[in-house]
């Protein structure tokens, strides 16, 4: 037994409350090492010694190149638990508790692993609606001016002494005019990049957190858009830029004017006096900012005054305009104390509001239930790029990376992850595929059938490409987009919305071949099973029997799956397919 590979961490993603009645237990071991793992759990306040333990067989739910992962979800009568693991490798049996491997139990209950109390206040809770969400990400300047139309004309508006600019003519009214397009596509949640008053077209250099940019139509246009989307069953998330502001934001302007005498000097993370706005974009500013972007000074979110101001912003748009949540920009560079205060404020206004952090790395630190509900899953994009676009990894490696994504967070956080193939910050995925539609469609289909919220960047469904920033933020191709690809997106979204297992079921890899692009996995929910077969390689592959009824496929004949083909099978009996 390879003891150095075995891992369990109490009160983490390896042991946590799913709700007040269910507790998740996990154990990691070396790949292929253990044949059976049994969890034993008991009441920490048990009145007899030794404690009465209840055995629960654990399921091997996934593997990566180095490890297997075992899991049990216990409908627990106890909210305070001592527990240990019994591990069998076919040769020996060992017990594991208190970070010790042994063959004997002890009477001293304090030596076992412990969940002190599955307290309702500490359970990570995520809005249930995220499991059914299909998100459409709109970059407002680039989407629409009117019905199936974008002017592509620059705009400029004077606002409280500041010049606000647009580049392509997109407006909020234009989004509302195309709500029928969004409904026909099948999405039920819209995420807007920043809409508040700001100088540049991207609106990440804010000058006013309490008003919508007049370039996009102003406050009333936004209120009308929210009403239109809600009337059509579509939720709306907006972008919160709280790591930094624009250099014309009132507080920073006051610092530039009054220097050390400014009452706002402590609103910013680091200032060197005299504070001046550098004229050249190549010049490093004498103050902390986002990256080295001189127009975006970094806010001191640990300052109570700044916290109060920005928390009021968070509450205001929830209460006054009824938005459904926030995507939080540069979230990993903002202090934890602010995010905890922001969450408390927003959830008090609407417990069902969603909080998504822009975290490009593993986001477990922020997903304990006290800061965010979700993060932008750029690892999802990275792994899909390697498997589908570049064919740089095989099915077995890709499946291992999927397991790592599923196991790194608490169980309830995974369905809320914002899975994306591209965004306003990265090249279009179709460009990464070299324009290869077969690769692109497989990646899209995988996104629609994996755990988490599938997220479409505007125009992906029409075949938009682009590697550089001005290219991947081009205007929506209302004329000239690929209708065949649009039809594919519509069907893939409809499949997800029709099949409950694809939204709420567990995920299990059935077959992932080394040195091959074949991947077969299932989603199971309450007796219903959907099995997905993807061939991300060029060579045809044979599929096993007993997969269920074919619901949709391309390149599939007599269980022979062509290169870049797929098959989706439905088995309503649930337990028979493989």
d(CA 512, CA 521): 8
* C-alpha count within 13 angstroms, C-beta hemisphere, residue 418: 30
Rounded to the nearest angstrom, the gap between the alpha carbon of residue 344 and the centroid of all alpha carbons in its chain is 20
d(CA 314, CA 334): 15
**Residue 329 known to be catalytic:** yes
Q: Look at residues 373, 456, 492 and name the one whose alpha carbon lies nearest to residue 139.
A: 456
- Beta strands 54-57 and 59-63 are unpaired
Q: Which position among 43, 64, 141, 329 bears the catalytic label?
A: 329
Q: Which tokens belong to 563?
A: 């290169």
E strand spans, 139-230: 155-159, 162-166, 189-192, 196-198, 206-212
- Beta strands 506-512 and 541-542 are unpaired
Q: Is 546 exposed, middle or buried (0-12, 13-18, 19+ CB in 10 A)?
A: exposed
Q: Which position among 64, 358, 373, 460 bears the catalytic label?
A: 358
- Beta strands 528-535 and 518-525 are antiparallel
d(CA 120, CA 369): 11
Rounded to the nearest angstrom, the gap between the alpha carbon of residue 499 and the centroid of all alpha carbons in its chain is 21
**Residue 89 known to be catalytic:** no
Main-chain dihedrals φ then ψ at residue 271, nearest 5 degrees: -125, 145
Find out whether 500 and 546 touch, Cβ atoms under 8 Å: no
Q: Which tokens belong to 54?
A: 């209840």
Rounded to the nearest angstrom, the gap between the alpha carbon of residue 310 and the centroid of all alpha carbons in its chain is 23
Secondary structure, 3-state, 46-113: CCCCCCCCEEEECEEEEECCCEEEEEEEEECCCCCEEEEEEEECCCCEEEEECCEEECCCCCCHHHCE
d(CA 551, CA 570): 6
**Residues noted as catalytic:** 329, 358
């Amino acid at each position: 037994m390879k003891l150095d590979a075995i891992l369990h961490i109490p009160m983490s993603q390896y042991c946590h409350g799913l709700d007040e009645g269910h507790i998740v237990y996990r154990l990691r071991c070396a790949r292929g090492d253990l044949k059976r793992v049994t969890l034993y759990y008991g009441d920490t306040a048990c009145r007899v010694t030794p404690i009465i333990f209840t055995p629960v067989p654990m399921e091997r739910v996934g593997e990566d190149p180095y490890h297997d992962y075992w899991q049990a979800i216990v409908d627990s009568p106890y909210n305070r638990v001592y527990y240990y693991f019994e591990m069998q490798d076919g040769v020996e049996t060992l017990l594991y508790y208190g970070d010790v491997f042994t063959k004997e139990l002890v009477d001293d209950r304090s030596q076992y692993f412990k969940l002190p109390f599955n307290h309702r206040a500490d359970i990570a809770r995520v809005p249930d609606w995220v499991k059914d969400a299909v998100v459409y990400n709109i970059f407002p300047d680039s989407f629409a001016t009117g019905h199936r139309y974008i002017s592509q004309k620059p705009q400029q508006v004077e606002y409280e002494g500041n010049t606000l600019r647009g580049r392509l003519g997109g407006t909020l009214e234009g989004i509302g005019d195309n709500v029928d397009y969004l409904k026909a596509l099948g999405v039920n949640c819209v995420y807007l990049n920043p809409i508040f008053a700001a100088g540049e077209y991207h609106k990440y250099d804010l000058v006013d957190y309490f008003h919508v940019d007049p370039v996009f139509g102003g406050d009333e246009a936004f209120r009308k858009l929210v009403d239109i989307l809600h009337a059509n069953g579509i939720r709306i998330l907006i972008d919160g830029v709280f790591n930094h502001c624009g250099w014309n934001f009132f507080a920073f302007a006051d610092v530039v004017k009054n220097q050390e005498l400014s009452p706002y000097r402590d609103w910013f993370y680091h200032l060197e006096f005299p504070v001046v706005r550098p004229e050249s974009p190549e010049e490093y500013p004498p103050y902390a900012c986002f990256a080295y972007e001189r127009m975006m000074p970094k806010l001191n979110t640990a300052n109570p005054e700044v916290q109060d101001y920005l928390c009021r912003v968070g509450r205001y748009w929830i209460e006054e305009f009824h938005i459904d949540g926030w995507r939080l920009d540069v979230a990993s560079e903002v202090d934890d104390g602010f995010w905890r205060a922001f969450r408390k404020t927003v959830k008090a206004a609407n417990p069902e509001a969603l909080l998504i952090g822009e975290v490009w790395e593993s986001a477990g630190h922020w997903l304990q239930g006290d800061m965010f509900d979700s993060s932008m899953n750029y690892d999802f994009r990275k792994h899909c790029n390697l498997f589908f676009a570049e064919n740089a990894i095989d099915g077995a490696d890709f499946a291992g990376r999927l397991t790592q994504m599923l196991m790194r967070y608490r169980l309830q956080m995974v369905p809320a992850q914002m899975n994306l193939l591209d965004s306003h910050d990265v090249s279009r995925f179709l460009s990464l595929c070299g324009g290869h539609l077969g690769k692109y469609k497989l990646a899209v289909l995988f996104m629609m059938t994996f755990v988490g919220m599938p997220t479409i960047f505007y125009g992906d469904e029409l075949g938009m490409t682009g590697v550089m920033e001005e290219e991947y933020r081009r205007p929506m191709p209302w004329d000239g987009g690929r209708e065949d690809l649009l039809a594919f997106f519509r069907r893939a979204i409809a499949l997800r919305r029709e099949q409950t297992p694809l939204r709420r079921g567990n995920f299990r890899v059935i077959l992932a071949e080394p040195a091959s692009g074949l991947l077969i996995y299932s989603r199971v929910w309450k007796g219903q099973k959907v099995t997905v077969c993807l061939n991300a390689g060029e060579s045809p592959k044979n599929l096993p029997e007993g997969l269920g009824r074919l619901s949709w496929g391309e390149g599939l004949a007599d269980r022979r799956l062509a290169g870049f083909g797929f098959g989706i099978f439905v088995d309503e009996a649930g337990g028979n397919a493989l």
